[in-house]
Every structure is written in C-alpha cells, then in structure tokens.
Amino acid sequence: MENHFDTSKLIRVSLHEVENQLELSLRQAFESLQPKLRPPFSLEIPEPQEYLELNKAIVYGVLCEPSSSKTHIKHLHALVTDGYAFFTSLLIGIVVELYVKLVDSAKIQLICVTKEMIDVSSVGIEDLLVSLLRRIGSGDYGDQNVWLCSELVSLFLEKWDCLLEDMPLVLTSALYSFLRLLADHYRVLGVAKLENVKRLEIKLCVKMFREQFHLGLKIGRDLILLLQDLSHVSEFREIWNDLVSSHCSDIYQLKTSSRYFLLRITPEMETQLRFLLGNVKLGSHKRHQMWFLKKFLLGPEKETLLIDIVRFVCCVIHPTNEIIRSEIMPRWAIIGWLLELCRQNHHIERSVKLALFYDWLFFNERMDNIMNVEPAALLMVWSIPQYPHITHSLLEFVLHLVETYEITSRDIIVRGLTSAFREIERKGVIRSLDIFLTNPALAPDLKKKLANLLSCHHEKVPVNLHQLSVPSKQTFLSSEANLKECSTKIFDTPDQKLDNSVENPAKHEIPG
C-alpha cells in the first residue's frame, strides 16, 4: 500500500502520522485535475464545485511545482471570479495548519505567491500576512526562522506602496511584530546571520515612524512598551525622545487592541493556552504545563516568550463566567507559574512583571477591561497565605513603578493604579483592599505606600508613598481566616504542583 510519506510533496510527515485533511484535499484535487492544469486552459466557466477544486489544485501546484508556478498563477488569473478569496483562504489554512511541516521549497513558494496576492489585492490578504507574521518565532535563531523573518521584513519594504494604499493597517501589525522581534535580536550577541535582519527591521520600523507615524499610534499604549526596549539603539533614540516629550500621555490613554497580542503567539501556542485555561482542572494541570514547557519554552533564549504569553493571557483570554465559577485552572495560576520560570533572569522577570501590570498603570474604568488586571490582583491575593513573598514582590514592584516609570507621566500612573485597585474591589474581584492594607504578612512600609497611593489620589494631594499610617488589622481578621481556609500553594517544591482546592477570593463574574 502506498503511504502518505511517499506521496506528499507539500509537507514532511512521519510514516505513521495521520493524514492531514487539508493537505489530502489539496493533493487529491491536484491529482484528479492534472489534465486541466496544463495549457491550453478551458475557456468555459467552471461549475461552483469545480471552481473550488481548481483553486485547491492550483495552490498545490504553485507550492509543489516551482518550475510551473508561473503557469499555475496565469491559470488562476484567468479563472478567478471571487477576488481570489478562496485561493487566499487556502493559503491561510496552510500557514495556520501546515507551516511547520512544509518542505523548504514550498515555504519559498508561499512567500512568492503571497507577493502575487498583494499585487492583485486579493480578498483576505491582510489575514494571510498576519498569519505569516505569527509564524516568526520569538527566541528562535535557527536558519528557518531567521530566513522567514528576513523574507517578511523584505516583503513589507518591497510592497510598501501597495500595502500603504490598499491595506495600511497591516503595516501597523508589521511594526508591532518587528519592534518586538528587534528587541529580542538586540539581546543576542554573536549571531552573524541576525545582523542583516536587524538592519532590515530597523529600516522598516524607522520608515513607519518617519513617514506614517499615525499608523504606529494605532498600536496604542503598548507602542511605548515596545519602544522602551529599543531606546538604547541609536536609530530609535530620537524617536523615543520625541515620543516621550510630545505624545506619551496621549498614547497611554489608547488601549491596545487584542489583535496585536496574537501576533507574537503562534497558532499552536494559542491552541494550547486556550486549552489549559478553558479545559484543564487544577490538580490535573501539571502534565499539561510540563508538555507546554517542553514544547515551547525550553532553552534560555525562549524566556523572552514569557513576556508575550503574559500579555496574551491578560488581554486576550477572558474566561466566561462559567469557567470563572469552575475548578478550571485560572489565569493567575498559570501566570504565577510563568513568573517562577524566569526567576533566574532578572531582566526577563522585570519585563514579565511589567507585562502583567502594564494596564494597571493607565487603567481607566470607562475604557479598560477589568479582566486585563484581574490576574495580577488574584495572584497577589492567593499568594498571601503560604507565599507572602510573592505578594510582597509583586506589590513592591508595582508601587516602585510610581517612582521610577516615566516620571513625566506620574500623575497619570497614580490615577491609573488607584483606579485599578478601586475597580477590582468595586467589581468584586477581591472582597476588600484591606486584604493588602491590614495584612500582617506584608511589610508595614509596603502597606504604608499602598495606603498613601490610594489616599493621595483620592484627596488630590502630591504623591509621597512613604507617608500616612495604615488602617488597623481588625478589618482583615475575618477575611484572612477565610482566605487561609481555601488557599492554594501556587508552587510546591520541587514539582511546582498547584493545589486543586482553589476558589476565587470573591466569586466575581464578568460584568455585563
């Protein structure tokens, strides 16, 4: 019997692997329609079903027969009746489902046919470009990944005018992706093949800021987060200074759309994170975490992914009320685990904490989603009974940001942090802020700083976190006993096992 391994020209598969249905349908269409794929082409308009099959056959032919790809593309141009919508949707499916298995020649052809689709402004081309951007792995400096990064940044430069005219927002997605990748690339020393990629990334990003600054602003407040990691790079120093002096306060008020956080998460990673946070119960989560760790996070260079995962979990994965009420692994628990993974790298640890608290700094209850700040709040609360040092570390970090993060915007940050703390109490994410303000497990100086922060903003007086006394312990006693009764160990040494007896400190639900 002929096996799949011998017949597929599109992907690499193991001998016993189950056939992928998308690849199978493309291959079968190509094999069954071979006579119609060679000139002279029929002038008859195909029936709807035959049209779909011809599109599948042409996709397979373009990717698997480089020497005949121009003929296949001419056939497509003569055939198309839907603005290339179905053809492009097939390419998107290949990028999402099959990219990691594609043979090298098919990857090269994929970039070529993508350029062709840009030239004809195909329906769905923006989604195809975004899907390709998601395929550039963070912390991956292998030849294949560096090649893809180089090809895509070159594509955006080469097709700049066309993209700007027809689909300008995809340039904003490219800017987000390459600013984030560039920061990683500058942390790596001694990788010669990255030098040309970095030059191209700088060229594209600087071009965006100099020529289409308004498109860059559409990223929102995370644009500042991206740029601050590049402020030491000479080409970005002036841009950074201009942004800080003229636009920072305005940009901080612009919430970043969730679509940007997807750009640095591969489809496979997204699937696993959604599965972890939507199906896996506390107590049976360990093997899933370990699989995720081995699949996506092994190696010191992969630690940079933790920043993107935390932003994704906070700002994209918002559980339903049914999940919140269940025993399914909560977001705060997985973020606690991710923080544990980067304890040895202080730079990454600080960046992960900033990713966790970033929306707190500029929180506006009228615009921002409470679910973006919920994970950090619950992680601090649930760490108190058995791991108060985690609560202390997180609270100390976020309060320190008031004094050190973007001094010129201190009033905005004080207002944002205060609004976030008040809103998590008002919405029932936690029962009372007294769990921080009167907790004997937390250092007195830290409680004073928090009390001062909340009082100073409320009374509209200058910020000095070292003043003011702390409320009495009496209000805390009943809630402390209740919290200890149903608390969890975030990390058991050495296997980092989470207890499955967790409930939310307050059974909050997503507000309607």
The CB-based long-range contact list for 461-464 (8 Å cut-off, 24+ gap) reads 463/402, 463/410, 463/414
Q: What is the pLDDT of residue 501?
A: 29
pLDDT at 485: 38
Contacts of 163 (CB under 8 A, 6+ apart): 118, 156, 170, 171
Contact yes or no for 109/16 (Cβ under 8 A): no
**pLDDT at residue 509 is higher than 70:** no
Query: Regarding predicted confidence, which is higher, 278 or 475?
Result: 278
No. of helices (H) and no. of strands (E), the chain = 28, 0
Reported as a single tens digit per residue, the pLDDT across 484-493 is 433 443 344 3
The candidate with the shortest Cα–Cα distance to 303, out of 335, 348, 340, is: 348
Inform me whether the pLDDT recorded for 507 exceeds 60.
no
- Going by pLDDT thresholds of 50, 70 and 90, the confidence category of residue 456 is low
Q: What is the pLDDT of residue 458?
A: 53
Report pLDDT digits (tens) over 361-395: 999 999 999 999 999 999 999 999 999 999 999 99
Does residue 128 have a pLDDT over 90? yes
pLDDT at 110: 98
Model confidence at 248, in pLDDT bands (50, 70, 90)?
confident
Predicted structure pTM score: 0.89
Confidence of residue 480 (pLDDT cuts 50, 70, 90): very low
- Burial state string for 64-73 with b = 16 or more CB within 10 A and e = fewer than 16: bbeeebebbb
Confidence bin at 263 (pLDDT 50/70/90): very high
pLDDT of residue 493: 32
Residue-wise pLDDT for 330-359, tens only, equals 999 999 999 999 988 899 999 999 999 999
pLDDT digits (tens, 9 = 90+) for 317-329: 999 999 999 999 9
Beta-bridge partners for 102: 11
Determine the average pLDDT of the residues in 99-106. Answer: 97
Position 510 scores a pLDDT of 53
CB atoms within 10 A of CB 262: 19
Q: What is the pLDDT of residue 13?
A: 87
In 3D space, the residue among 387, 391, 462, 458 whose CA is nearest the CA of residue 430 turns out to be 391
Question: How confident is the prediction for the chain on average, in pLDDT?
Answer: 88
The mean per-residue pLDDT over the stretch 143-165 comes to 97
pLDDT > 60? residue 162: yes
pLDDT of residue 508: 58
* Contact call for residues 109 and 62 (beta carbons, < 8 A): yes
pLDDT at 406 over 90: no
Distance, in Å, from the CA atom of 148 to the CA atom of 152, rounded to the nearest integer, reads 6
Q: Which residue has the higher pLDDT, 187 or 350?
A: 350
Inter-residue contact 138 to 261 (CB < 8 Å): no
Report the pLDDT averaged over residues 448-468.
64
| Residue 147 binned pLDDT confidence (cut-offs 50, 70, 90) | very high
Residue 300 has pLDDT above 90, yes or no: no
Helix (H, G, I), strand (E, B) or coil at 328: strand
Mean pLDDT in residue range 481-502? 37
Question: In Å, what is the CA distance from 334 to each residue of 341, 408, 502?
Answer: 11, 34, 13
Please give the residue that has the higher pLDDT: either 494 or 145.
145
Hunting for tokens 């609270």 — which residue is that? 395
Tokens of 423: 């809103």
- The proportion of the chain whose per-residue pLDDT surpasses 90, expressed as a percent, equals 76
pLDDT level of residue 466 (50, 70, 90 thresholds): very low
Identify which has the larger pLDDT, 35 or 248. 35
DSSP 256: P
Q: What is the mean pLDDT of residues 150-173?
A: 98
- Residue 117, pLDDT > 90, answer yes
pLDDT greater than 60 at residue 279: yes
Split at pLDDT 50, 70, 90, the class of 1 is very low
